[in-house]
Amino acid sequence: MKLAEIAVLLREIVDRCPTLDGSTITLIPQKAMYPLFKGYHISIKANLTKESIGCLRKIVEGHDLVMQIKTDSVVVYETRSL
């Protein structure tokens, strides 16, 4: 994702997912994981609940993105950008 897209996505997450208040958000360059990709992944480290994951899932799917759920974090990224 490009920074402008991330800004829109983060604003929507802040507005619609109050259960994520106090979480840590980190931008990870996609090329750190996939050398041919441009842009960024978003890592959200938080105390995840079913409610917060559901809220995030609606937003992420609405932006045609993918999220990978880990034990204490979620990574949001797009699968199609080269």
Alpha carbon distance, N-terminus to C-terminus of the chain? 10
Residue 41 lies in a domain: yes
Cα–chain center distance at 31: 16
User: Which H or E element spans position 9?
Assistant: helix 3-16
Residue 82 lies in a domain: no
Residue 61 lies in a domain: yes
| Total tally of structural domains belonging to the chain | 1
> pLDDT 10s digit of each residue in the chain, 82 long?
889 999 999 999 999 999 988 899 999 887 766 666 678 999 999 989 999 999 999 999 999 999 999 988 999 988 765 4
Give me the domain span that covers residue 43.
3-77
**Full-prediction pTM beyond 0.85?**
no
CA proximity to 65, closest of 41, 47, 36, 32: 41
Residue 52 lies in a domain: yes
Residue 73 lies in a domain: yes
- The label of the residue with tokens 């992420």 reads 60
